[in-house]
Amino acid sequence: MKMRLLCSLVLGAAALPGLAPTTATAQTPDSLRAHYMIDLPPTLEILSTVGRTSPGTSSGSPTGFGANWGDGFVGASYQGRVRFSELNDGAVVAGIGLGNSRDLIGGEVAITSFSTLRSDPFQVVSVSLKLHRAFLDNYGLAVGWESAFFLTSNEGDGGSSLYVAASKVWPQVWWQPFTKITTTVGLGDGRFRSEEEVRVDKETVKPFGSIGVQLWEPMSFIADWTGQDLTLAMSIVPTQRFPLVITPGVTDVTGTAGDGARFIISAGTGFDFARLPRLFP
Amino acid sequence: MRTPNLLTCGAVAVGLALMSAPATAQTHNQSDVTGPNVTSSAIAGVGTVAAEASPAVAAAVATAGTAVTAQLSSGTLSATTPDGATVTIPPAVQGALAGILAGGAAPPEFVAGLAAGGAGSASELVEALATLVSSPATGQFAAAVGHFNALVVGADPAFLASPTPEFLAVHSVLSQLVAAGRGAG
């Protein structure tokens, strides 16, 4: 009886705050790590496309982020004139996201019609693919295949391009008007080569990259090196009531490609396609 | 009355003809790929939003931050070891962590306490903890958790079996904030 009482006292004392030993002799290294690892719930995860629309962070080059399951998007682009011509041009795109880049890997499938303004629509249609993964600290990594295959016999004049892109969102606090900066660097073939390399059909891989500085919540400034020339653009979200992103800009500004600066603009909107059936019961 | 109509019809016809005519100048000049990128969701800004929790989650985390600050200020923060024991954290460590979370400088001994396990992410963790409660930046919370987990992964097993009070204090604080966010989500 005395022995039982003594044991109880010892155990009770060990349970008092500050008196318990911090060693866990019965634990394995894996169980110790499992205890201390902190699982971040999805509501606090690194990246989310839910709820808010953010202005774009690039214009002509891809990024390391992408659409996940549930994300749908449509968009259109316009060039005031194309290179070595006074003729304008346009394209439209629609796509969906697959998988989840935060849990494992995200996928993106986009269908683009490059024929719009000056010829019948859907005369030049391609499918583009992208796999992407989001990492802690707002990093994103993607591999993509632009115009992986064409659904039409006419393949236009853009060809296919393989690329890998890495992006990071840098939350910054040192200058209040800027809310965050997104940088992207990548390597690609196809359209990411120089204009001369494309002309002589030289097989090579060239770097591209972009910087998107979000000035205020609805607006960002973009400097985008597409591999051929520099594009300067603004991306604007006119209202948070509708997820519309408009990105006007000037491309070929340094004169390393084409025949002078040109006006370009794009507009796109994202939506949750999983909710669409509820709109059309 | 007829002339304007004819002119209008003519203009429309010419316009349509131009619109439908093949753009001969738009071959071999990469016109399909020299404008905005039209092959990905970037055109719609999809996937470029850094984590911003819902208002309810953000409020819950902020409330937990206030509670944690109060615990640190009063020296009542406690931690739980893997074997279920509850330990109190020395007041000096709690004070140091409270200062860091409020934006103050990290005492070298605090950083040393985190780095004692051998993992190299202690300084990054302390950096991510700065102003975490008082004025967190977008993505900072996730960064702090990420660096702490990196610390755990890289730590020596002996350290995890007998961690320093600094380590336990940070774990306790982050765990409380995460639990609050999870509960509200």
Residue B76 in contact with partner chain A when CB distance is under 8 A: no
Average pLDDT over residues A200-218: 90
- Which tens digits make up the pLDDT trace of A60-87? 999 999 998 888 999 999 999 999 999 9
Average pLDDT over residues B47-56: 54
**Of A267 and A180, the one with more pLDDT:** A267
- Which tens digits make up the pLDDT trace of B119-131? 888 998 999 899 8
Average pLDDT over residues A89-108: 90
Cβ-based neighbours of A277, under 8 Å, separated by 6 or more: none
Average pLDDT, chain B: 79
- pLDDT of B53 > 60? The answer is no
DSSP string, B49-69: PBP---HHHHHHHHHHHHHHH
Average pLDDT, chain A: 82
pTM greater than the 0.80 cutoff: no
- pLDDT of A14 > 60? The answer is no
- Cα dihedral sign for B26, B28, B29, B32? positive
The reply to whether residue A37 touches residue B135, judged by beta carbons under 8 angstroms, is no
What residue in B sits closest to A147 (Cα-Cα)? B39
Select, from the ranges A142-151, B1-10, B72-81, the one with the highest average predicted confidence (pLDDT).
A142-151
What was the pLDDT predicted at A179? 66
Distance from CA of B65 to the nearest CA of A (A): 15
Residue pointed to by tokens 């615990």: B71
- pLDDT of A20 > 80? The answer is no
The reply to whether residue A45 touches residue B36, judged by beta carbons under 8 angstroms, is no
Q: Which of A32, A156, A173 sits opposite B160 (nearest CB)?
A: A32
Residue A41 — very low, low, confident or very high, per pLDDT cuts 50/70/90? low
The reply to whether residue A67 touches residue B148, judged by beta carbons under 8 angstroms, is no
- Which tens digits make up the pLDDT trace of A213-269? 987 778 899 999 999 999 999 999 888 678 899 999 999 999 999 999 999 999 999
Residue B75 in contact with partner chain A when CB distance is under 8 A: no
Q: Please state which of the ranges A2-11, A227-236, A260-269, B140-149 shows the lowest mean pLDDT.
A: A2-11
**Of A224 and A181, the one with more pLDDT:** A224
Q: Which of B26, B36, B184 sits opposite A85 (nearest CB)?
A: B26
Residue of B20, B24, B32, B141 to mutate for A, most A C-beta atoms under 10 A: B32
What was the pLDDT predicted at A40? 72
What was the pLDDT predicted at A171? 63
- pLDDT of B23 > 60? The answer is no
Whether the Cβ atoms of residue A47 and residue A134 lie closer than 8 Å to each other: yes
- The 3-state DSSP class for residue A268 equals strand
CA distance A224 to A239: 24
- pLDDT of B167 > 60? The answer is yes
- pLDDT of B144 > 60? The answer is yes
This model of the complex carries an ipTM of 0.77
- pLDDT of A29 > 80? The answer is yes
The reply to whether residue A101 touches residue B47, judged by beta carbons under 8 angstroms, is yes
The reply to whether residue B39 touches residue A110, judged by beta carbons under 8 angstroms, is yes
The reply to whether residue A195 touches residue B162, judged by beta carbons under 8 angstroms, is no
Cβ-based neighbours of B169, under 8 Å, separated by 6 or more: B72, B77, B79, B89, B93, B94, B97
What was the pLDDT predicted at B184? 72
The b-or-e profile of A20-53 (16+ CB within 10 A means b, else e) is: bebebeebeeeebbebbebebeebbbbbbbeeeb
Whether the Cβ atoms of residue A270 and residue A49 lie closer than 8 Å to each other: yes
In chain A, pLDDT over 90 holds for what percent of residues?
Answer: 53
Distance from CA of B134 to the nearest CA of A (A): 13
Residue pointed to by tokens 């639990």: B179
Q: Which of residues 155-184 of A touch B (CB under 8 A)?
A: 156-159, 161, 169, 171-173, 179-180, 182
- Which tens digits make up the pLDDT trace of A144-178? 999 999 999 988 888 999 999 999 887 655 565 66
C-alpha dist (Å) from residue A38 to A28, A187, A192, B100: 18, 35, 41, 20
Select, from the ranges A6-10, A38-42, A76-80, the one with the highest average predicted confidence (pLDDT).
A76-80
Helix ranges, B34-107 (H): 55-74, 91-101
The reply to whether residue A32 touches residue B146, judged by beta carbons under 8 angstroms, is no
- pLDDT of A12 > 70? The answer is no
Tell me which DSSP letter residue A47 carries. B
CA distance A26 to B54: 40
Residue A276 — very low, low, confident or very high, per pLDDT cuts 50/70/90? low
- pLDDT of B59 > 90? The answer is no
Residue A126 burial by CB count (10 A; 0-12/13-18/19+): exposed, middle or buried?
buried
Residue B17 in contact with partner chain A when CB distance is under 8 A: no
What was the pLDDT predicted at A119? 78
CB < 8 Å to B142, chain A:
40, 44-46, 136-138
CB < 8 Å to A97, chain B:
41, 46-47
Whether the Cβ atoms of residue A135 and residue B51 lie closer than 8 Å to each other: no
Whether the Cβ atoms of residue A228 and residue A255 lie closer than 8 Å to each other: no
